[in-house]
Structure 1
């Protein structure tokens, strides 16, 4: 389960007010937001946490890095194979395998189990920097993502930006939520990096699991609470404007 996954049903049109089901941060664009959908459902959660659980438990139990890496890699591949056999979408599982593979390769070549978690530190640092810059330029990253998912128009970027940035309550909500996610990423680093530096692999793995799906679920729910009302009002204003424009065009055609 990626942070910014964008998964839709076949009926998703990608337009304002669509009904596509998305996971990750893109789920904030759903009108019928659900935390369960956001975290990828029970199966998505299982596929997200299982490789990490197996890695930390097996390494702590055996202290055999090679065995731990091979079992974790095999598990990730099995998840994709199961989806293929069941003729289900494998994109999310493939993304998970790719992420796990990077961690495993890093640990393998460094001969240090701690480095399984190092790519996660880099990802969190990257998003802190990106989101902080987005706040400085007053184009909040979370808002830009949600609006692009709702209305992926790229032909007139200035008009697209103005359409939601001129809505002051919505902009404030997006700024707040973007700041919230900076805190989430910073908290992960603040808790986990000291464990990495002191070589507490077991505690680091446990912290990684707790600050993974559970923290993500709590943060995305808080994000929805912040943006739900202003986004709903913005949608209503959009629909009213679109209806007025359609009526005007119809009147012009009849004239």
Structure 2
């Protein structure tokens, strides 16, 4: 029996309203994905506190990230998540190594959070919710008839309102991370910064995904039902068997 592939991240929101239960754990990558995401950060903080040796901490953290990818490859499992994690961890480690400051391990995270916050804020000002764009792109890639695709969900007032609320929610998540963590960075509290980064990482992501699902599920389900009903009505009105009406 073929196992249904679980959707993660924003793709899990694109499936909101479909038949089947929503799983927060699966949406954030499953237990293994959670461990693989958090482990390099945990090791970095713990090892740096224990040894105060930045080079050793960087070397061990880098080796761990590589091992995670290799294990995935050996087990012939999808390594895309681990590879993207390796890329992100690599940038963080290189930044800390080149600057000789452990706190700069977290600089890349500040930049990405700030970029997401600004982009989503601009989308709210423009009244085109960024989360709506992402979810709808995942649901149905507009390879043609872009205007019809865009108007299809933007003209659904309930769905657009839900997307606006969820976009504002994520702006708040990114903004709160920066508000808490940047002062710790500026005052060089590496341990507190690392702890805050871990607590506001996967746990915040899971909470935001879950709340987003609760907000989107009902209007998206109604939108999908309306689209299916319209499609069935169109098919029923077409001539059967290619016959031409006299």
TM-score category (smaller protein): over 0.9
| Other-structure match for 2:201 | 212
Please point out which of 73, 78, 96 is paired with 1:107: 96
Aligned position for 1:29: 14
- What is the deviation of 1:36? 1.3
C-alpha deviation, 1:252, in angstroms? 7.7
* TM-score for the superposition, normalised by structure 1: 0.90
Structure showing greater relative contact order (alpha-carbon pairs closer than 8 Å, 6 or more residues apart): 2
- Corresponding residue pairs, total: 239
Would you say 1:242 and 2:231 are equivalent positions?
yes
Name stretches of at least 5 consecutive residues in structure 1 with no aligned partner: 1-9, 12-18
1-side partners of 2:212 and 2:101: how far apart? 36
Query: What is the rounded CA distance, in whole Å, between the counterparts of 1:99 and 1:250 in structure 2?
Result: 55
| Cα offset, 1:248, TM superposition | 2.5
Larger Rg computed on CA atoms: 2
Query: Structure 1, residues 38-79: CA drift from partner, whole Å, max 9, x if none?
Result: 110000000000000000110011110000000000000000
1:64–1:250 Cα change, 3 Å: farther
145, 157, 165: which one pairs with 2:134? 145
1:78 aligns with 2:90: no
SS across alignment from 2:238: helix
2:188 aligned with 1:203, yes or no? Answer: no
Q: Distance in 2 between matches of 1:250 and 1:109?
A: 70
Give 5+ residue unaligned stretches, structure 2.
none
Match of residue 178, structure 2, among 189, 192, 198: 189
How much has 1:137 moved relative to structure 2? 1.4
User: Displacement of 1:21 after TM fit?
Assistant: 2.7
TM-score for the superposition, normalised by structure 2: 0.94
Q: Could you list the per-position Cα deviations for residues 159-181 of structure 1 after superposition, in whole angstroms to 9, with x for gaps in the alignment?
A: 11100000000000000000000
Distance 2:6 2:136 in 1: 15
Q: Is 1:98 paired with 2:87?
A: yes
